[in-house]
Structure 1
């Protein structure tokens, strides 16, 4: 645990400093995009924050490859470097989009290239997990296609929720911590001689980089992570999920104090539920209107929260709370009796549903007229 936390701290320190440098460079050189109608800010802000996050990831992985315990992850294993190469590609694509606003199809090609780099030289899906029985993917080409598709989907999901100051970084931190604790707990309690794990390291580094970035991005934001940062988070989160899913058939999860095999299947979806929900609703909404699924609009979940009366910070905190319930509620199934956790999760979900809808319900309560003071 100590070495993972040290790598997390390394990523946080580097990310904080590098983000400050990106802020300075962006402001000094005037690297801003015009303010759009859907934007929540009224003054130009640099979108180069992804460079700070990537710097934290890069330095932490290089340090890890030469550090006690975690360096075993890199021994005779090119997967970390394949993931890092794919991350470098997507950061370049994202920075280009943040500076010149690429066409959606150009960005999709860039995302596909980055995902293919990870799938060919990094990690791959070898099974499609189901609750009853997993489906093996025998074809190498099919493994690459499924892995690349998962990574592209996750990158777009995180890119879609990156619309409020601190939202994407905070969701990544909360979900990443839940993922990190699960991966670490499984390996620490399994009868293994080597407890080092790539998924645990990736989530530790990701959380650390986002922690270093968040102080610069909290409302009112001094810098945005841009597409480069949001897509990088999605790529790393998806890569960690692929690593964990590949460990199901090894029996690792079965041997870790009886942890249910379904946990590594459900947890990534629980962590990514809000981004994936927003992505799905956006595609349906835009397609129904005859528009491209990648065309921008002001209909995301965070926009709806603002529309019903939440403040900027209030909407972000509410999304944090939902992520906590989903991520840690899923994690709890691995440790405590499922009937108890299910009851607690349902109760927490019901309370949060009322809290979420409260501003809207208050506006529509009988006897309240427009303009009436609160």
Structure 2
């Protein structure tokens, strides 16, 4: 059965790999480089705009499947394609425009947050939303109430307040998690690849062909970009790429039936790391958008690991918990989430000890 999805994976990987070559050359020609700075770890300028190759690949392959096949159908047709898929594409276009502008000339944090919200609202308004959450012991938490009904231009609209707000928050969280995660070569790209593969296998097990196909397109796209982005990187994702990957993984988790627990297991350490760093900045009276080197992946470097070692360690943790997510039931996933949080605490304490020992050796 997996063979039926291999063409989409291979096509996506080949297209993205080829496009990345030309995007890299274009970025070099236009002198669009990510410059070294005290808060960054690369020692020389590197081209960015990698997100252009990623988004272009996703759009090419997805639109190709829309016209060549009826497999990318989530049940609600509108115009030439599935309504939800149109919403995904429109929201992605908003993000890639925002990301390119940010990569070229910079966009302020509040303005960036506003347009991220716009992208989230667009995709949710097209029906990509979390209708319920699975709870332990087989029960569900219904998020579809309360509802607000209204008419506009002769068309009826329905807002599921709780479901839509949680959905917007979830996508926004993933967008910014991947944006923060893109601090080491290949880290954000590899984690997105692992996340998409996990959701792919889970979708197959549930008989969700459209979700599995969308997941394998995202996985193939990430796989095609990874050789260019893994240490030593030849091109960076840029904000255009990190935001696009976070958005696609966030949307994929919802469009495939509310696989939030699964996604959180794979992305648990990055998400918890972002939450901790943002809270620490707020408590210190600093802007939560202020970049620094206090993220987990930076602290792994401080503790003495190389870039490759740090990235591979985080890959392995994500793969372990991703495997648990595939084979576990809802109640077991809750247990795994608790274990993940405990692991994060132990890892943080271990890093503090390693940093203190390293400083003691340097001072001694």
What TM-score do you get using the length of structure 2 for normalisation?
0.84
Q: In the alignment, which of 111, 117, 137 is matched to residue 122 of structure 2?
A: 117
| 1:33 CA drift (Å) | 4.1
Deviation at 1:43, TM superposition (A): 0.9
Structure-2 residue corresponding to 1:196: 209
Question: 2:27 touches 2:33 (CA, 8 Å); kept in 1?
Answer: yes
Match among 163, 170, 188 for residue 183 of structure 2: 163
**Cα RMSD for the two superposed structures:** 3.2
> Aligned with 1:232: secondary structure?
helix
Q: Paired residue for 2:361?
A: 370
Q: Where does residue 146 of structure 1 map in the other structure?
A: 166
Structure 2 CA distance for aligned equivalents of residues 15 and 122 of structure 1: 28
Residues 1:83 and 2:78 aligned together: no
Partner of 1:94: 99
Counterpart in the other structure of 1:225? 237
After TM superposition, the score normalised by the length of structure 1 is: 0.82
Could you say which residue in structure 2 is the equivalent of 1:179? 199
User: Is 1:236 matched up with 2:237?
Assistant: no
> Structure 1 residues 80, 363: closer, same or farther in 2, change over 3 A?
same
316, 320, 336: which one aligns with 1:325: 320
| Aligned mates of 2:39, 2:360 — CA distance in 1 | 29
Identify which range, 203-212 or 61-70, moves more after superposition: 61-70
> Following the alignment from structure 1 to structure 2, what is the Cα–Cα distance between the partners of residues 282 and 358?
15
Q: Which residue of 2 aligns with 1:4?
A: 5
Cα 1:364–1:41 shift into 2, 3 Å: closer
Quote how far apart the aligned CAs of 1:168 are.
0.5
**Counterpart among 130, 135, 154 of residue 130 in structure 1:** 135
Question: Offset at 1:110?
Answer: 1.1
Output one character per residue of 1:10-64: Cα deviation in whole Å (capped at 9) or x when no partner: 2111111111111000011101244221111111112200011111111110121
Question: SS of the counterpart of 2:135?
Answer: coil
| TM-aligned CA deviation for residue 316 of structure 1 | 0.7
Distance 1:294 1:369 in 2: 31
Corresponding residue for 2:66? 65
Deviation, structure 1 residue 278? 1.8
C-alpha offsets along residues 64-86 of structure 1, whole Å, 9 cap, x if unaligned? Answer: 11334625558722111210111
Deviations 1:154-211 (A, max 9, x none): 1001111110000001111112111110111111xxxxxxx532x2222111111110
Q: Structure 2: how far apart are the matches of 1:305 and 1:38?
A: 15
SS of 1:66 mapped into structure 2: helix
Is there any run of 5+ residues in structure 2 with no aligned partner, and where?
Answer: 148-157
Distance of 1:273 and 1:144 partners within structure 2: 22
Query: Structure 1, unaligned stretches of length 5 or more?
Result: 188-194, 247-263
Judged with a 3 Å threshold, the aligned counterparts in structure 2 of structure 1 residues 369 and 285 are, in CA distance, closer, same or farther, namely closer
SS of the equivalent of 1:134 reads strand
Decide which structure has greater strand share: 2
Change (3 A) 1:338 1:270: closer
CA distance in 2, matches of 1:112, 1:358: 34
* CA spacing shift, 1:358–1:293, aligned 2, 3 Å: closer
Deviation for aligned residue 1:88: 1.2
Residue 277 of structure 1: CA displacement?
1.0
Pair 1:48–1:122, CA change in 2 (3 A): farther
- Partner residue of 1:17? 18
Once the two structures are TM-superposed, the CA of residue 358 in structure 1 deviates from its matched residue by: 8.6
1:275: how far off? 2.3
Question: Displacement, 1:130?
Answer: 3.4
| Distance in 2 of aligned mates of 1:282 and 1:312 | 20
Aligned counterparts of 2:227 and 2:87: Cα–Cα separation in 1:
30
CA contact (8 A) 2:195 2:249 kept: no
